[in-house]
Chains A and B, each alone.
Chain A
Amino acid sequence: MSAAAHDLVSATLMRTGEPTASLAYAGRYAVRDGAVHHSIEIASDPTLVGITTKRDIDLSGDRLVLSGPDFRAGTGRSQRIAWRRAEPNLQVTP
Chain B
Amino acid sequence: MSPSTLLGEAAARHDPSDWSRHALDLIQNDLRRSADTHLLRLDVPALSGIDVYLKDESTHPTGSLKHRLARSLFLYGICNGRIRHDTPIVEASSGSTAISEAYFARLLGLSFHAVMSASTSKEKIREIERQRGVCHLIADGKGIYAAAEALATELGGVYLDQFTYAERATDWRGNNNIAESIFEQMSREYHPVPTWIVMSAGTGGTTATLGRYIRYKRFTTRLCVADPEHSAFFEAYAAANPQATSDKPSRIEGIGRPRVEPSFMPKVIDRMMRVPDAASLAAMRVLSERLGRRVGGSTGTNFFALCVLAARMKAEGSVGSLVTLICDGGERYGHTYYDDAWIEAQGLDLAPHARALEAFLDGAAAAPDAG
Measuring CB to CB, which residues of chain A are less than 8 angstroms from any residue of chain B? 61-62, 85, 87-94
Contacts and interface: CB of A to CB of B under 8 A. Distances in A.
Contact of A90 (B237, B238, B275, B347): B275
Given A62-B347, A93-B237, A88 B276 contact: yes
B274 A88 contact: yes
Interface in B252-289: 271-276, 278-279
Contacts of A91: 234, 238, 273-274
Contact of B229 (A62, A85, A88, A94): A88
Given A62-B347, A90-B274, 7 more contacts: A87-B371, A88-B274, A89-B276, A91-B238, A91-B274, A92-B273, A93-B272
A87 B273 CA distance: 15
A5 to B, nearest CB: 21
Contacts of A88: 229, 274, 276
A35 B234 CA distance: 36
A62 B343 CA distance: 13
A92 B271 contact: yes
B229 A90 contact: no
A94 B237 CA distance: 11
Contacts of B370: 87
- Chain B interface category by residue count: 10 to 19
Given A61-B347, A93-B237, A87 B271 contact: no
B369 interface: yes
A61 B349 CA distance: 12
A87 B237 contact: no
Chain A interface main SS type: loop
Interface pairs A-B: 9 shortest CB-CB: A91-B274, A61-B347, A62-B347, A92-B273, A93-B272, A88-B276, A87-B276, A93-B238, A93-B271
Nearest to A88: B276
A39 B275 CA distance: 39
B308 A90 contact: yes
A37 to B, nearest CB: 28
A38 B237 CA distance: 41
B229 to A, nearest CB: 6
A92 B274 CA distance: 6
Interface of B: 229, 234, 237-238, 271-276, 278-279, 308, 347, 369-371
Contacts of B278: 87
B272 to A, nearest CB: 5
A92 B308 contact: yes
Contacts of A62: 347
Most interface-central of A61, A87, A88, A94 (chain B CB within 10 A): A87
Contacts of A94: 271
B272 A90 contact: no
A85 B349 CA distance: 11
Nearest to B273: A92
Contacts of B276: 87-90
Contacts of A90: 273-276, 279, 308, 369
Contacts of A85: 347
Contacts of A92: 271-274, 308
A87 B371 CA distance: 9
Nearest to B225: A93
A93 B279 CA distance: 18
The CB with the most chain B CB atoms within 10 A, among A62, A85, A92, is that of: A92
Nearest to B371: A87
9 contacts: A88-B276, A90-B273, A90-B279, A90-B369, A91-B273, A92-B308, A93-B237, A93-B272, A93-B273
A51 B36 CA distance: 72
B268 to A, nearest CB: 14
Contacts of B273: 90-93
Contacts of B237: 93
A3 to B, nearest CB: 22
Contacts of A61: 347
B316 to A, nearest CB: 15
